[in-house]
């Protein structure tokens, strides 16, 4: 099954890694977080990165996000080798090309929800009036109209994650990177957030890479599941459940 994916992937590769390794030094010991991972993600895919904690899935996500530099190997996103980007260009890449959501939401507590959402627009030097307009649009899209003048701590977890999603969307990136987006949420709000992410994938055509340790969640939403263990890629398969659902949907249409 994995070979079939590899064959099709050449048409539009959004993310590609080549023999990617990342080692950390912890005092004397050397920890291999990632060990020779090669994979390709096509544009518009919804990929779940599965694995135990310490399997290297978050390290892989950080490398794709351009937050970290690999020890060896390379990351290519939309044809650009991240290794070759300057620090300045890497910041621009994080600003424009990828959006990120985190398990702990990572909203800035001293800013209101609206200010948090429009912060990337400040980095992108967008005018104040235009900023308000885009911000409102993004907030509407995630269904967070009210309480946007409140500080994040005054909102529920689900609302905070909606705000974080709005922030990730605001510069209209083609790739959304999600690190355990439902990890701090109860199952009902978790479902709401996942439905939003699926909607981004389906209606906006965004490429989604989601890190999770919940196999059930991955099976329910992702179209492709990649399993990591000890920094190595151990399994890469099409999620039959979602693939079938899609086929059924197409059939009925």
Partner 1 sequence: MKAYDVAELAMRNLRESVLRNSLTTIGISVGVASLVAMLALGIGLQKLADRRLEKSGLFDTVIVTSRREIRNFNHEQEGAGPAPAESPSLDETARQNIEHLPNVLEAYPDIRFVTELRYEDKPHLTMVAGLTASAKNNEAFDGMAGSFFSSATAPEVILQKSFAEQLLGQSSRDDQNVKVSDLAKSLLGKQLLMRYAERTAASDSTAGQTASSAAYSVVSREQTLRIIGVCDLDPDSLRQQARARVFLPLEFAENLHVLQPSDLRDTTNVLGGKPTYTTVEVRVKSPKYVPSVEDSIKKMGFNTFSIVDATKNLRQFFAVLDLFLGIFGSLALAVASIGIVNTLVMAILERRREIGIMKAIGASDVDVKGLFFAEAGVMGIFGGAVGVALGWTIGRVINLGANVYLKRQHFPPEQIWFVPWWLVAGAIAFAIVVSLISGLYPASRAARLDPVQALRYE
In 3-state terms, what secondary structure has residue 76? strand
Q: Which is nearer to partner 1, 89 or 235 (CB)?
A: 89
Q: Please state the closest distance from residue 19 (CB atom) to partner 1, in A.
A: 21
Cross-strand pairs, 26:
29
DSSP string, 83-130: GGS-HHHHHHHHHHTEEEE-TT----TTS-HHHHHHHHHHHTT--HHH
Q: Which is nearer to partner 1, 111 or 204 (CB)?
A: 111
Q: Which is nearer to partner 1, 61 or 225 (CB)?
A: 61
Q: Which is nearer to partner 1, 14 or 168 (CB)?
A: 168
> Please, is 71 exposed, middle or buried when counting C-beta atoms within 10 Å of its C-beta (0-12, 13-18, 19+)?
middle
Q: Which is nearer to partner 1, 170 or 233 (CB)?
A: 170
Q: Please state the closest distance from residue 93 (CB atom) to partner 1, in A.
A: 8
Assign residue 147 a region (left: φ > 0; alpha: ψ between -120 and 50; beta: otherwise): left
Q: Which is nearer to partner 1, 3 or 86 (CB)?
A: 86
> Please, is 145 exposed, middle or buried when counting C-beta atoms within 10 Å of its C-beta (0-12, 13-18, 19+)?
exposed
Q: Please state the closest distance from residue 79 (CB atom) to partner 1, in A.
A: 20
Q: Shortest CA distance to 70 belongs to which of 52, 41, 90, 51?
A: 90
Q: Please state the closest distance from residue 106 (CB atom) to partner 1, in A.
A: 5
What is the token pair recorded at 121?
């627009």
Q: Please state the closest distance from residue 233 (CB atom) to partner 1, in A.
A: 21
What is the token pair recorded at 110?
């001293």
Tell me which residues touch partner 1 (CB under 8 A): 62, 65, 67-68, 87-88, 91-92, 94-96, 99-100, 102, 106-108, 110-111, 119-120, 122-125, 167-168, 171
Q: Shortest CA distance to 214 belongs to which of 178, 240, 165?
A: 178
Q: Please state the closest distance from residue 130 (CB atom) to partner 1, in A.
A: 12
Q: Which is nearer to partner 1, 149 or 215 (CB)?
A: 149
What is the token pair recorded at 56?
């290297």
Q: Please state the closest distance from residue 215 (CB atom) to partner 1, in A.
A: 25
Cβ contacts of 213-216, under 8 Å, gap ≥ 24: 213/50, 213/51, 213/52, 213/53, 213/57, 213/180, 214/182, 215/50
């Amino acid at each position: 099954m994995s070979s079939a994916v590899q064959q099709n992937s050449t048409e539009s590769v959004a993310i590609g890694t080549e023999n990617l390794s990342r080692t950390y030094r912890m005092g004397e010991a050397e920890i291999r977080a990632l060990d020779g991972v090669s994979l390709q993600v096509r544009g518009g895919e919804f990929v779940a990165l599965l694995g135990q904690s310490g399997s290297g899935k978050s390290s892989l996500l950080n490398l794709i996000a351009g937050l970290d530099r690999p020890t060896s190997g390379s990351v290519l996103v939309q044809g650009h080798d991240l290794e070759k980007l300057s620090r300045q260009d890497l910041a621009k890449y994080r600003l424009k090309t990828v959006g990120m959501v985190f398990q702990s939401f990572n909203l800035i507590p001293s800013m209101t929800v609206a200010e948090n959402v429009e912060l990337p627009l400040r980095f992108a030097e967008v005018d104040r009036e235009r900023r308000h307009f885009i911000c409102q649009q993004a907030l509407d899209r995630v269904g967070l109209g009210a309480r946007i003048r409140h500080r994040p701590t005054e909102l529920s977890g689900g609302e905070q994650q909606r705000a974080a999603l709005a922030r990730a969307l605001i510069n209209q990136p083609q790739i959304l990177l999600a690190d355990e987006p439902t990890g701090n949420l109860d199952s009902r709000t978790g479902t709401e957030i996942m439905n939003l992410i699926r909607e981004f994938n389906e209606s906006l055509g965004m490429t989604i890479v989601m890190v999770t340790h919940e196999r059930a969640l991955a099976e329910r939403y992702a179209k492709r599941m990649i399993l990591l263990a000890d920094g190595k890629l151990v399994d890469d398969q099409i999620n039959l459940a979602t693939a079938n659902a899609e086929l059924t949907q197409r059939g009925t249409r």
